[in-house]
Structure 1
Amino acid sequence: MNHKAYKALEYSKIIHMLTDKASSSMGKDICRKTEPSTDIEEIRHMQTQTRDALTRLFQKGNISFGSVKDVRGSLKRLEIGSSLGIGELLAICSMLENTNRVKAYSRSERGDSLPDSLDGMFDALEPLTPLTTEIRRCILSEDEISDDASSTLRQIRRNMKITGERIHTQLSSLVNGSARNYLQDAVITMRNGRYCIPVKAEYKGQVPGMVHDQSSTGSTLFIEPMAVVKLNNDIRELELQEQKEIEVILADLSQQTAAQTDSILADLNIMVQLDVIFARAALAMDMNATEPIFNDEGRIRLKQARHPLIDKKKAVPIDIRLGEDFDLLVVTGPNTGGKTVSLKTVGLLTLMGQSGLHIPTLDRSELALFEEVYADIGDEQSIEQSLSTFSSHMTNVVSFLQKANRHSLVLFDELGAGTDPTEGAALAIAILSHLHEQGIRTMATTHYSELKVYALSTSGVENACCEFDVETLRPTYRLLIGVPGKSNAFAISSKLGLPDYIIEKAKEQISEQDESFEDVLTSLESSRVTIENERRQIEQYKKEVETLKAQMETKQEKLEDQRDRIIRQANEEAHAVLREAKEYADQTMKMFHKFQKDHVDLAAVEKERQDLRKRMNKAEKGMTQKTAVQKPKKELTAKDISLGDAVKVLSMNLKGTVSSRPDSKGNLFVQMGIIRSKVKLSDLELIDEAEITTPTMQRTGAGKIRMSKSAHISTEINLLGKTVDEAIAELDKYLDDAYIAHLKSVRIVHGKGTGALRKGVHNYLKRQKHVDSFRLGEFGEGDAGVTIVELKK
């Protein structure tokens, strides 16, 4: 791709950020040279690798490739038979140890994880542990070889130690004995690798030996006494032997390393590749980026895209579409409104995606494969643009028109600016029309109203604008596709204090057609804001409905579970009773057979029969109490039931209200508190509930007379939120009215809470003479938050 687009879109800054994420020098070099690919399969493979590396980073944390150094030169030297130095062997050892850590990282906590695109690379790594162990055994640091590197080296160093101790013994006897008066200081020092003592210059004849050095003043001579000359010579010989043995050890280690050069080189290449892949993943983690879906159909669909070089806390996400319903997008709006940022976002994310990098968008965003990206984006956006600027932009446009094809993405910033507005608009329309006819994906920003009209009137061309808040004089930076933008020059000028008469005079200079067009844009913008607000409200309502639906489904599941448990328990109890009855029957038959064979008299048979009858009656009574279903006092027909009738569901022992007419099979729906259940007509019994609908006295179906007071008395009183004293005062008056109205029962709602209100209500009810009984509500009636009171007749 052309490097002008890299510069215009600031692609190099992204590459710099990527390079910083790499650990090794070789990995940084590869990152620094990263360029977008035009092979869609290669791009998809790189994106998959980045995604898998990102998953591993989230699961296991960071991984380092910092010990991976470029050892290719050392491996070349091994191939031609050279020996390596201590530093080179340690570099290879560090790289192999890092390889071992990376391989262990790939194995840790894998468990049942699915295989990914990086498994093959991790599996191909060979840490060569025996070689690294041997190098570490022999080499302690870059300055030290271990005594255990060889037995010969150990013996040499032992002899050196013994000889050195003999030298110190000889010199110590001189320093502390006969030569003490001739010495400048009572110390043993070294000069030119040989042990010496500091002798005063005037006494040099008193200490026979070899002079190796003197002080700067000449007052002190450093003499090697004759007694230790041979021992010092022995030390030098041993040092030469030591150096020779070290060279033998290094040659041996180099030979062992040379046998593994292919594996080491393969490890190096894989480690560098992994370093680059994990650098891409680390960058994606920092940007909160996702994997884009690539297509070769020229379709771009970015969801909540952010410019990667803008602080993600400040960047305003935008939605961008191109290449599906339209291949040319004209972005309009005021200055500093975000048009250029929108343009750069599309171009830069395209380059990043084709480089294998994730992009800062929502998941499932789409990018198209482009062989070239052409971008004409100028940094100057002032009104007074010079001719040279126009010439520069037009030079870019000419080169784009010569090279661009259907596999190119073309980006224009302020197309046609810098010259006469009429001519500039005409040129811009001609250029965009040419690109549109060739099907080239194009995005352009402009101020010209003529381009807005062109986009509105041309098929396959779409308007877009960057939203601007006239009240605050600030852009929102949101991109709105399908809506042409206004320059808002008059509104901004008015807000900034420009006199109205000047603005009115300016409006007179605009043609009626242009003014009408601006009015249409204003109306469109107002409608769009209204629709968007309503859409947000609808989304909120949808969420609330989903929440309520989930709560109802949970309650329904609990009810069904409870119903199944009750039915299962009843069946088990019924089976137990039947099993007991069967055992009684079997025992009875055995008795009769026995009596028949033994010829027992009739009195004994009758006595046994009476005992069995008592046991059967007892079993029958238990079965009736546990499993028998109550029968209605009167068999009901469809004509007997009306909507709203108060009924009792006998099988469930619950009261409810008829909410539907019976069907052909005699099934209907009954509302029992919060439960609405389908039951059979034969399972219902009409009940006489207090009527509160008639203002005058009338006779009910049961022949009871209701007074007019009952027209104003509810069968329920709500005491929620009241103190005990307030509640008792209100309850006292209510119960008097209910008793006068001849209500059979009332419902007191006091809630659960701390239980203080419920306790106060119950203490009050115990003292009331016209209260027959009271109880807490059952399931479906309000549970412990409600008390049902039966009043005396």
Structure 2
Amino acid sequence: MNSKILEILEFDKVKAKALPYLVSAAGKRELDDLIPETELNKVELSIKETTDGVNIYRLTGGIVIPQLADISTQLKRLKMDAVLNGNELAQIAKILRTSMSVKDFFAKLREQDVDMHVIEHYVDDLVTIPTITKQLVTAIEGDGHITDEASTKLHGLRQRITQTEGAIRTKMEGFTRGSNAKYLSDTIVTMRNDRYVIPVQANYRGKFGGIVHDQSGSGQTLFIEPQSVIELNNRLRQDQLDEKQEEIRILAELSAAVAPYRVDIGNNERILGHLDFINAKAQMAHSMKATLPIISAEQYVDLKQARHPLIDAQKTVANDIIIGEDYQMVVITGPNTGGKTITMKTLGLIQLMGQSGFYIPAQEESSIGVFREIFADIGDEQSLEQNLSTFSSHMSNIKAILDQADDNSLVLLDEVGAGTDPKEGAALAMSILDDLGAKESYVLVTTHYPELKAYGFDRDKTINASMEFDQETLQPTYKLLLGIPGRSNALEIAKRLGLSDSVILEAKSLISEDSQDLNAIIGDLVNQRKLARDRSEQLEHDLQEADALQTDLTAKFNRFEAEKAKMLEAAQVENNHLVAQSRKQADKIIDRLRKLELEGNQIKENQMIDAKGELNSLKVDDQRLKKNKVLQREKLKHDLKDGDPVLVKSYGQYGDLIRKLGKHEWEVQLGILKMKVNETDLEKSKQANVAAQEREREPKQRITRAVSTRETSARLDLRGHRYDQAMSEVDQFIDHAVLSNLPSVTIVHGKGTGALRKGTQEYLRSNPRVKSFEYAAPNAGGDGATLVFF
């Protein structure tokens, strides 16, 4: 794409908005080199990368990349077998460390199933070199300092240097603090020629012996290295030289170790820079409240509430800009200062952003095209060097545009034909537009010429447009009106500014009647369009409020459902506990009757009735439910009378009502037994012959259970089962295990929320057949399984 359009539309200022979010030199290079793509697949790829970056930024705050320096020079030097210094190696180490951390970061994203289209393929290309990375990190600090751990020899030398320096300072302090201090110009220890010295008065130079390394400007002070520390200074100096040599050797060794991987490291730097650039585009989109553009291969541009990216969003007026599907040319007419040029630049700049992989400042579901070229002739580009007038300059630009434009070009022309005689300018403008129409270019043009208002009606695939003007305030609203040409407001503005009525009337008389009628028609269209838009905006506002209310109600309903489910689960747990306790007491009653039977005692009918009564007393009624109006209405349905077939719920048996014995009790015929039953334990049977049918089925059921040959397993797996289903399976499993004379069984309930484990163990505590239970061994499931002993 031609570079001139980038300059005219100030694309560099858009790129500058991404610069604060970049932290790597490679990312900044990529931004600096960025130009819009002109191939559909490349634009789609770039937009997908930004979408990945936006998703990651939304979920995690962005890809974590530290400040990374440019290491291209270091890599070139490694190619020539040069030895890098500590700072250069530290920068390479940072690239390697960041490569490892970024791969770890994306590994965690994959575990979270974050939606990514293409960005993770770049991460897969990152090469990690753990051995070299560890070696560099161990030997070189972030500021390039070589650590003591770089080598054993270096560590030993530095320890000796520290000890020697301590010994020197001790001796020197003997001179500065003892009786010899009076011979010094100042009681300090300083350095000259990398050796420790003391400032001695010149007339006492022979008092300390040693070597004079320097003197003051007046000559009154000599900087002497005392004889007693010369040997220590010599040793210190030698150790320091050895330290430097060892550091040089370490740097050479590390440089040689890194050199074979320079291509991979360079590739890592490029990938990290690209990820940094994607991250910056995502953050820029967030700050601008930009949205994902839909890429149209058919060049359908539909920008919804588009904003100029370089103007404060609070100050700019958003507009719908549409071109490409029903029409390929938009002719915007109207007076100056109405916003025509800004609207034109908004379209061009948003196209450049989208084709560069940026999100665009428009509402969601906006679409852009992919143009091979975007041309513009905007503003006063008079060339003083070529001594061209404004008109000549514009004509030179338009000639170049007409020579290059085709059906894959977007052309932006501001005030086409201006700067010359209005009649000739209008004719020239229409001829230029005809030529662009023949080339099937996509054109947005602004003009003052009234002749072009009719042009928009006469030409195929062309539409008129204007910038709205408030007729009451005579101020522009900066709203783009598609389908309506602009009207002249010169006379109204002049009148408002105080021009006399006689002058205004004279001016109107000079305007043709056709022009006045056209202005009146346009004015009426503008008013109707404004009313329609106001109604549309009100409806949109009402719809948004309704959507917000619906969202709020849905959220509250979901919370209600979740709370209800939670309460039901808690109630179910408590209910199962009560059932387990009741079953335990019921088993005791049954065991007592069985014991009587085994001892040979005949069970009398009154003992059986007493036992059944005890079983009935195990039922617990919730007093709160008695006050429930719904349940009271339901209770009215249970209107019992003599002779009614009923179900005795506590026995699960059908019988017939004989007579009412008290306020809430009935005498019921159950087979050969007559029993006194509370009416709350009775339920009307819907079929008259149910009792007889059920009595016929009962013996068959008991026989079937008694002769069951079901093979009982010593292991029950409850994982993945719902609570109610699981508790029912535990009950049946224990029964079959006891009948099969199994000494012990294993119940696998898993860990999870602990609900199955708790319910299982509460049931086991309430079952008298269970002797004891405990968690399984660690290698057999631990607290995810329970061993049961009978």
2:346 maps to: 345
| Partner secondary structure for residue 114 of structure 1 | coil
Q: By how many angstroms is 1:155 displaced?
A: 2.4
Match of 2:486, as an amino acid? Answer: G
Tell me the alpha carbon deviations over residues 531-556 of structure 1, each in whole angstroms, 9 at most, x when there is no partner.
334445655777799999999999x9
| Structure 1 partner of 2:748 | none
1:552 and 1:614 map into 2 onto residues whose CA distance is 56
Q: 1:322 to 1:240 in 2, by over 3 A?
A: same
Aligned counterpart, 2:437: 436
Measure, in 1, the Cα distance between the counterparts of 2:669 and 2:501.
Answer: 117
The worse-fitting range, judged by mean Cα deviation, of 22-31 and 333-342 is: 22-31
Q: How does 1:377-456 map to 2 (within 5 A)?
A: 377-379=378-380, 388-456=389-457
Equivalent in the alignment of 2:235:
234
Q: Deviations over 1:98-143 (max 9, x none)?
A: 3344344434565132343211223333454543443333234647
Partner of 2:34: 34
Worse overlay, 77-86 or 451-460:
77-86
CA distance in 2 between partners of 1:187 and 1:548 (Å): 80
Q: Does the C-alpha gap of structure 1 residues 317 and 197 become closer, same or farther in structure 2, counting only changes over 3 Å?
A: closer
Aligned ranges 1:650-665 → 2 under 5 Å:
none
Corresponding residue number in structure 2 for 1:601: none
Contact 1:486/1:518 (8 A) holds in 2: yes
Question: Does 2:185 align with 1:116?
Answer: no
| Structure 2 counterpart of 1:297 | 298
Question: How many Å apart are 1:15 and its aligned residue?
Answer: 2.1
Query: 1 CA distance for matches of 2:424 and 2:190?
Result: 93
Deviation at 1:428, TM superposition (A): 1.0
Is structure 2 residue 578 aligned with structure 1 residue 577?
Answer: no
1:466–1:485: 8 Å Cα contact kept in structure 2?
yes
Corresponding residue for residue 676 of structure 1? none
Q: Is the 8 A contact 2:300 2:324 kept in 1?
A: yes
Shift of 1:380: 9.0
Partner amino acid, structure 2, of 1:577? V
The answer to whether the 8 A contact 2:648-2:655 is kept is no
Letter of the 1:490 counterpart: L
Q: 1:66 to 1:493 in 2, by over 3 A?
A: farther
Q: Could you say which residue in structure 2 is the equivalent of 1:82?
A: 82
1:11 matched residue in structure 2? 11
Work out whether residues 307 and 346 of structure 2, in 8 Å CA contact, stay in contact via their aligned partners in 1.
yes
- For residues 601-612 of structure 1, the aligned pairs below 5 Å read none
CA RMSD of aligned residues (A): 4.1
Identity of counterpart residues, as a percentage? Answer: 38
Which residue in 1 is equivalent to 2:92? 92
The alignment partner of 1:211 has SS state of strand
Query: Which residue of structure 2 lines up, in the alignment, with residue 487 of structure 1?
Result: 488
Amino acid at match of 2:465: A
Alpha carbons of 1:615 and 1:92: their partners in 2 closer, same or farther (altered >3 Å)? same
Name which one, 1 or 2, has greater alpha-carbon Rg: 1
Distance 1:396 1:572, change over 3 A: farther
Deviations 1:156-199 (A, max 9, x none): 23333444444445545555667555433444333212233333
Q: How does 1:501-540 map to 2 (within 5 A)?
A: 501-536=502-537
Aligned-partner residue type, residue 311 of structure 1: D
Shift of 1:224: 2.3
CA contact (8 A) 1:577 1:619 kept: no
Offset at residue 228 of structure 1 (A)? 3.0
- Residue type of the alignment partner of 1:89: L
2:23 is paired with a residue of what secondary structure? coil
In structure 1, what residue type is equivalent to 2:30?
I
What residue is the counterpart of 2:751 in the other structure? none
Q: Is the 8 A contact 1:293 1:364 kept in 2?
A: yes
The aligned counterpart of 2:126 is 125
Q: Return 5+ residue gaps in structure 2 as ranges.
A: 561-627, 659-666, 688-790
What is the CA distance between 1:294 and its match in structure 2?
A: 1.8
The aligned residue for residue 461 of structure 1 is 462
Cα distance in 2 between the residues matched to 1:249 and 1:572: 96
CA shift in 2, pair 1:304/1:203, >3 Å? same
Alignment of 1:509-658 (within 5 A): 509-536=510-537, 577-578=646-647, 583=653, 585=655
Query: Following TM superposition, by how much is the alpha carbon of 1:407 offset from its aligned partner in structure 2, in angstroms?
Result: 0.8
Q: How does 1:775-790 map to 2 (within 5 A)?
A: none
**Conserved in 2, the CA contact under 8 Å of 1:21 and 1:283?**
yes
Deviation at 1:77, TM superposition (A): 2.3
How far is 1:244 from its partner?
A: 1.1
Q: CA deviation at 1:95?
A: 2.6
1:163 and 1:579, CA in 2 relative to 1: closer, same or farther beyond 3 A?
closer
SS at match of 1:260: helix
Q: 1:204 to 1:585 in 2, by over 3 A?
A: closer
Does the aligned pair in 2 maintain the 1:455–1:463 contact within 8 Å? yes
Could you tell me which amino acid in structure 2 is paired with residue 80 of structure 1? M
- Which residue does the alignment assign to 1:286? 287
Q: Residues 237 and 465 from structure 1, CA distance in 2 versus in 1: closer, same or farther, beyond 3 angstroms?
A: same
**Cα 1:387/1:422, change in 2 over 3 Å:** farther
- Kept in 1: contact 2:645–2:654 (CA 8 A): no
- Conserved 8 A contact 1:470-1:492: no
Q: Say if 1:611 and 1:372 are closer, same or farther in 2 by CA, change over 3 A.
A: closer
Query: What SS does structure 2 have at the residue aligned with 1:197?
Result: strand
Query: What amino acid does structure 1 have at the position aligned with 2:44?
Result: R
Could you tell me how far apart the structure 2 residues matched to 1:573 and 1:288 are? 68
Deviation at 1:241, TM superposition (A): 1.3
Check the 8 A contact 1:19/1:32 in 2, yes or no: no
> What SS does the corresponding residue of 2:411 show, helix, strand or coil?
strand
Letter in 2 for 1:238: D
Kept in 1: contact 2:334–2:466 (CA 8 A): yes
In 2, Cα distance between equivalents of 1:311 and 1:612: 93
Q: Distance in 1 between matches of 2:674 and 2:486?
A: 97
CA contact (8 A) 1:328 1:461 kept: yes
* CA distance in structure 2 between the aligned counterparts of 1:289 and 1:481, rounded to whole angstroms: 24
Q: Does the CA-based 8 Å contact 2:304-2:362 persist in structure 1? A: yes
Report the Cα distance in structure 1 between the residues aligned to 2:28 and 2:516, rounded to whole angstroms.
57
Distance 1:577 1:109, change over 3 A: farther
Mark the CA change 1:434 to 1:380 in structure 2 (over 3 Å): closer, same or farther: closer
Unaligned runs of 5+ in 1: 589-606, 629-793
Partner AA of 1:366 in structure 2: S
Instruction: Classify 1:368/1:508 alpha carbon distance in 2 versus 1 (closer, same or farther; 3 Å).
Output: same
Does residue 68 of structure 2 align to residue 68 of structure 1? yes
> What SS is found at the alignment partner of 2:389?
helix
**Residues 109 and 38 of structure 1: is their aligned pair in 2 closer, same or farther, counting only changes over 3 Å?**
closer
Residue 231 of structure 1 deviates from its aligned partner by: 2.9
Q: 8 Å contact 2:69–2:91 — kept in the other structure?
A: yes
Specify the SS of the correspondent of 1:337: coil
**How many angstroms apart in 2 are the aligned matches of 1:621 and 1:239?**
101
Map 1:95-174 to 2 at 5 A.
95-108=95-108, 111-140=112-141, 142=143, 144-173=145-174
| Cα pair distance change 1:139/1:459, threshold 3 Å | closer
**Which whole-Å CA distance do the structure 1 matches of 2:97 and 2:552 have between them?**
57
Residue in 2 that maps onto 1:686: none
Residues 646, 656 of structure 2: 8 Å contact kept: no
Label 1:389 to 1:565 Cα distance change in 2 as closer, same or farther (>3 A): farther
- Secondary structure of the 1:356 match is coil
Q: Secondary structure at the match of 2:154?
A: helix
Which amino acid in 2 is paired with 1:41?
A: N
For the 8 Å contact 1:387–1:419, the answer to whether it is kept is no
Deviation per CA, 1:639-687, whole angstroms, max 9, x where unpaired? xxxxxxxxxxxxxxxxxxxxxxxxxxxxxxxxxxxxxxxxxxxxxxxxx
Structure 1 partner of 2:616: none
Matched position secondary structure for 1:302: strand
Contact 1:573 1:627 in 2 (8 A): no
Equivalent AA in structure 2 for residue 53 of structure 1: G
